[in-house]
Structure formats: structure tokens, C-alpha cells
Amino acid sequence: MEIGVDPDMPTYSGGLGVLSGDTVKAAADLRVPMVAVTLLHRKGYCRQILDDHGSQREEPVDWPIQDFVRPTTAQITVTVEGKPVHIRCWTRDTIGATGHRIPVLFLDTDLPENADEHRGLTHHLYGGDHRYRLCQEQILGVGGLRALRALGHNTLTRFHMNEGHAALMACELLDEATKERNAKKINADDVESVRRKCVFTTHTPVPAGHDVFPVDLAEHVLPEHTCELLRHLECLDGSLNMTHLALKLSHYVNGVARKHAEISREMFAPIPVDAITNGVHARTWISSHLQDVLDEYVPAWREDSYDLRNAAAIPGYKIWQAHDSAKKEFFKEVGRLTNVRMDEDVFTIGFARRAAGYKRADLFFHDLDTLRRIHRDVGKFQVVYAGKAHPSDDGGKDMIRRIFGAKAELAQQINIAYLPDYDMHLGRLMTAGVDVWLNTPEPPMEASGTSGMKAAMNGVPSLSTLDGWWLEGWIENTTGWSIGQMGPNGPEKADRARDAETLYHKLEYIILPLFYNERERFIEIMRNCITLNGSFFNTQRMMHQYVLKAYYT
């Protein structure tokens, strides 16, 4: 449904889209033959505007489509709400480290021949209501497969549904299989042949995170033929659950970190759910300053992210210099966006991601007096925040206002900035330009998380609750620090006061003293982040695993 393939194309909202972009880039690096499909999102996700109190307002983003995508000859039609909807298909190549090209197709319904209510269906990413979303999923799933066929992709052997949004694609495959037999009714062999082809990745451990539509809405939006098919599959029972549909029609299902796969196995029992832990794309996320150093010491890193382990040979002062330059570059942008002047010599904490409730962006401000005391008596620190709330997420919007409130209360002592309109540009500057990457999700709500991986690749350690990828990347005092303890049965349950307390404790007794008094050891940890975590939590390793575990089975 979304892809962050170019920072200037607002066709993504957060981690899910950035991950799909990074996935396509790694596939291109590795010369994996692949085509990606998404919607055009002419009005983007949203531009975030914040007032002085942190109240968020959104504006649509207008972007020069023709500067980024080329038209194709494909002419396709799908039925939506009983009417034909014509789809135009645009394309853009992603080019890998050795020149291999992977096309990304962008579907667009904004054509004069379409009814007014259907022209806007590919305008807004995650905009509108249930009806709008289901119409989009019909365009993405059914239109997506038809676009591939129209462009001559007739020998594709695997179809990877990234989240349930694309599940109607499997219905269309089923329809193809039935038609191939010149039959009218599907049979068990058709279902089995579709299952052989399909792979499904689920991305959320929260039941509310899955797309579920009322039956009457499904019957209104989808053609009767599709509804019959869904009934046959027992997927139109009480509701239309896109995750259940995708699970039913896939032979391989995975979660995006080990813990997430474990939770998904419980949620979807008895369906087996494998784990392939997410990654990030090295060339996309490593700062230009560190890239120069890597080119000097580990020149093969662009083609082969595993080579980042050899960053062990880079002298500490080189890593520090690169980080220092990234920090200066980032602070310039902070100044430009907010007029807050950050101090380059002061320890800097970064926090940026979607402002969703479970991520607890305000946990850091649980006890302002303790923060004042640590800042005064132990060592100075400053904080940079960023993140958009979904336009209809009032809880997320309240959280941003609470952070602005704390920022105002601390203004006399502690430098705090909240950057508006967090996007891939800011993400890249920020994950490279702070000294520690803070993450405070409520376990086990974070399926994976990826921004901490971006930080790690840039030599920036994480301070994070034990959830998602961090359960696999965390080595205390070696790659960063945990918030909360690991118990005999996994991480402790979230507890606001206790989590805040351990956060402050680590800051006061370990991290600030290390940064200010034992710089050599701090740099050693920075280097470990690159060698141990950068070399593993990247999308090239992830793509190797998808090819072996999902595509070749």
C-alpha cells in the first residue's frame, strides 16, 4: 500500500513503506528479479504543521509526479462499487549497486473517464474511511495483478503480499487459475496452486492493526463474483478480514522479528509463522560522512552489507570525526526548522517515529525534576524529537502536545526541539546526527521497528525497551542499553514509572559518564553498532532470507 523508495516521493507514511522501499533496493543490489506494485498517492500521506503548543494540522502534499515516474502502456480496468474503474500505470526503476533494475509500478485512477467518486481513490495514503480503504485495496490487489499481466509479466512464480492490504491479489490469482481450466467454479486444486505461489508478511502484533471490513461494505464495494469466491473460502463470515484471507492463500507466512513471529503464531494458530527480521538499506541510511570513511576502509560495503563487520578495522577517531560532521549537519537543519540552537559538544538524545500511543514518546518526560537534576549534576544533555500523528489519531496528537508542554517547562534548563513533518530526509539526518537513539515502545507492541537499525549503521547506539528487533540486537554496554529488564519469561511487562526510572538510571550512571569521561569506550560501542548490528540488520541479509525461506520454497 505504501513505498518509501525516494525521499521526495510522499508515497509512504512510516516504517512499513520505508521497509518496502529498502527491500526493493536490496533486491536490486542482489539482482533478485522482482517487480513491485503500489498506489500513486497523488496527494501523498500528509504534511504536518505544528503550532507553538504542538497542535498538529495536516495539509495534502502536491508533488510533481512526472518528475519521478514514467507512463506505461498498460490499460486496465477493475470493478469497484459496480462500476468500471480505469487504471493508469506509472513506473519507476530502482537501480542496485551493480546496475540491476527493479521496476516499481504506481497505480493511478485519476482519469477523466472515471466517475468523480473514483478519480480520487489513489490520492490519499491512509486517508478516508473504511469504504475508501476497501476500494483502494481492490485497486491495489486486483488492479495490481492485472497491471503486471498487461505489462507482460506472465512468468512470475511468487507473489509477496506485504501486509494484508494486498490480499485481494490472491483472489484474482484464484480467478486466473479457475479460468485457466475453463471452469466456472473454483476447486481445491486452484486454491492449492495459488497457495504455492503466495507469500504473506504480517507486520503488526495488535489485532486492531489488521484490516477488517463489514460484510455489507464488502458486498457493496466488491463485485458479486469476488464475494462468491470469498464466501467459498469462508472469508466473508461476519466480516472480511484481510489478514485471514492472506493467511488462507499463502504457503509461507512470516513475522518481521523473532518475537513478533512468536506472537503471530499464537494469534493465528495453528498456522505456522516463520520469522525474518527486518533490516534497513545501508546505502540509503548511512550518512555521507561515514560513507566516505567506509569507502576508505571497507570499500565493498555498497555491494555487500555483510562487509560492515570489517568496520572493526576503522580507527576510533575516524568514526568520531564522521559522527561529528553528521551531528553538525543535523544541527544546522534543527536550527533552520525550529530556531533552537543545539550545542555540538552536548550529549544528544534522538526520538523520532510515528506518534502512535504504544510508542510512548512522552515516557522520557515522566519526571521532569529528575531530568533537571541529572542535567545539572551529572552531565548536560539535549533532546530532538520528531514524528507525525495519523490525521485521525487524537491520542497521538495529544502526545505531541504533552511533549511540547514538557519542552516548555524545561525550556530554562534543557535544550529540546520538536522537528515538524518527520520524513525520510529528516530520518537520515537524525539517525546519524544524535548520540543515542531512544525508543520506548510498550512490549510486545513493536513488531520490529527499524529506525534503531538506521542509527546502528551510523554508529549510534540504542537506549530502548526490549521489544521488536532490539531483543535480537541488544547486547548491554556493547551495542547500547535496555530500558526495563529481561525476566525468565522474556521482557518484563510495560510499567510507566518503572520504565522511566530505569531509563533515568542508565542515563545517570552509565551513558552520560561514559560519553563525557570515557570517550574511547563510548566510541568502541559506536563501532560495535556498525560491526555487530549494521552488518546484520540490513535489507540485503533480509532479502537473502526471503529468497531462501519464502521465494524458493
3-state secondary structure of 239: strand
When the beta carbons of 7 and 60 are compared against ligand PLP, the nearer one is: 7
Cell output for 88: 493508469
Helices within 388-507 (DSSP H only): 394-410, 424-433, 451-457, 470-473, 496-506
Q: Are strands 436-439 and 462-465 parallel, antiparallel or unpaired?
A: parallel
Cα(523)–Cα(526) distance, integer angstroms: 5
Q: Is the peptide bond before 207 cis (omega within 30 degrees of 0)?
A: no
Nearest distance from residue 480's CB to ligand PLP, in Å?
14
Query: Which one, 190 or 423, has the nearer CB to ligand PLP?
Result: 423
Q: Between residues 96 and 279, which has the closer beta carbon with respect to ligand PLP?
A: 279
Peptide bond before 444: cis, by omega within 30 degrees of 0?
Answer: yes
Q: Are 140 and 39 in contact (CB under 8 A)?
A: yes
Q: Quick one: which of 353, 375, 397, 527 contacts ligand PLP (CB under 6 A)?
A: 353
Cβ closest to ligand PLP, residue 103 vs residue 127:
127
Cβ 451 to ligand PLP, closest distance in Å?
3
**CB of residue 13 to ligand PLP, shortest distance in Å:** 8
Q: Which stretch binds ligand PLP (CB under 6 A): 67-75, 317-325, 419-427, 499-507?
A: 419-427
Q: Which residues ranging from 158 to 217 are in contact with ligand PLP (CB under 6 A)?
A: none
| Helix runs in 153-257, H state only | 168-180, 188-197, 215-221, 224-232, 242-248
Q: Smallest gap, in angstroms, from Cβ of residue 18 to ligand PLP?
A: 5
Q: For residues 486 and 493, give the distance between their C-alpha atoms in angstroms, rounded to a whole number.
A: 10
Output b/e per residue, 223-260; b: 16+ Cβ within 10 A: beebbebbeebebbeeebbbbbbbbbbbebbbbbbbbb
Residue with Cβ nearer ligand PLP (226 or 254): 254
Q: Among residues 144 and 449, whose Cβ is nearest to ligand PLP?
A: 449
Which is nearest to 426 in space by CA: 351, 523, 495, 518? Answer: 351
Q: Which residues are 107's β-sheet partners?
A: 39, 89
Least distance between ligand PLP and beta carbon 237 (Å): 33
For residues 319 and 430, give the distance between their C-alpha atoms in angstroms, rounded to a whole number: 17
Closer to ligand PLP by CB, 450 or 538: give it. 450
Looking at beta carbons only, is 18 or 322 nearer to ligand PLP? 18
Pick the stretch among 24-32, 96-104, 422-430, 485-493 that binds ligand PLP (CB under 6 A).
422-430
| Binder of ligand PLP out of 127, 350, 427, 473 (CB under 6 A) | 427
Residue 444 found at the interface with ligand PLP (CB under 6 A): no
| Residue window 312-351: x/- pattern of binding to ligand PLP, with contact defined by CB under 6 A | ----------------------------------------
The nearest distance, CB 277 to ligand PLP, in angstroms, is: 13
Give the separation between CA 465 and CA 446, rounded to whole angstroms: 10
| Nearest residue (CB) to ligand PLP, 12 versus 347 | 12
Q: How far is the CB of 298 from ligand PLP (least distance, A)?
A: 23
C-beta of 167 vs 494, nearer to ligand PLP: 494
Q: Which residue in the set 423, 442, 467, 499 belongs to the binding site for ligand PLP (CB under 6 A)? A: 423
Find where cell 516548555 sits: 408
- Supply the minimum distance, in Å, between the C-beta of residue 454 and ligand PLP: 6
Nearer to ligand PLP, 204 or 450 (CB): 450
Cα-trace Rg, the chain: 24
Rounded alpha-carbon distances, angstroms, from residue 126 to 14, 46, 215, 468? 11, 10, 21, 24
Q: Determine the size of the site formed for ligand PLP (CB under 6 A).
A: 13
> Which of 69, 326, 424, 429 is in the footprint of ligand PLP by CB under 6 A?
424
- Give min distance, CB of 424 to ligand PLP, in A: 5
Phi then psi for residue 384, to 5 deg, are -120, 130
Please identify, using beta-carbon distances, which residue of 226 and 284 lies nearer to ligand PLP: 284
Q: Is 194 helix (H, G, I), strand (E, B) or coil?
A: helix
Site for ligand PLP in 445-474 (CB under 6 A): 449-451, 454
Q: Point out the residue whose Cβ comes nearest to ligand PLP.
A: 427
Decide whether 423 or 499 has the Cβ nearer to ligand PLP. Answer: 423
In whole angstroms, the minimum distance from the beta carbon of 498 to ligand PLP comes to 22
Kind of pairing between the strands at 198-201 and 83-95: unpaired
Q: Which amino acid is at 30?
A: L
Query: Minimal CA–CA distance to 528: which of 432, 462, 459?
Result: 459
Residues in the chain: 553
- Write out the H or E segment, with its range, that includes residue 89: strand 83-95
Binding to ligand PLP (CB under 6 A): which residues in 3-32? 14-15, 18
Among the listed residues 435, 446, 459, the one whose alpha carbon sits nearest the alpha carbon of residue 507: 435
| 376, containing H or E segment | helix 368-377
**Closest CB 8 distance from ligand PLP, rounded Å:** 13
What φ, ψ does residue 189 adopt, rounded to 5°? -65, -40
Min dist. Cβ of residue 466 to ligand PLP (A): 15
How many of the other CB atoms lie within 10 Å of CB of 208?
Answer: 6
Q: Which stretch binds ligand PLP (CB under 6 A): 46-54, 182-190, 423-431, 474-482?
A: 423-431
First to last CA, the chain: 25
- Where does this chain bind ligand PLP (CB under 6 A)? 14-15, 18, 353-354, 422-424, 427, 449-451, 454
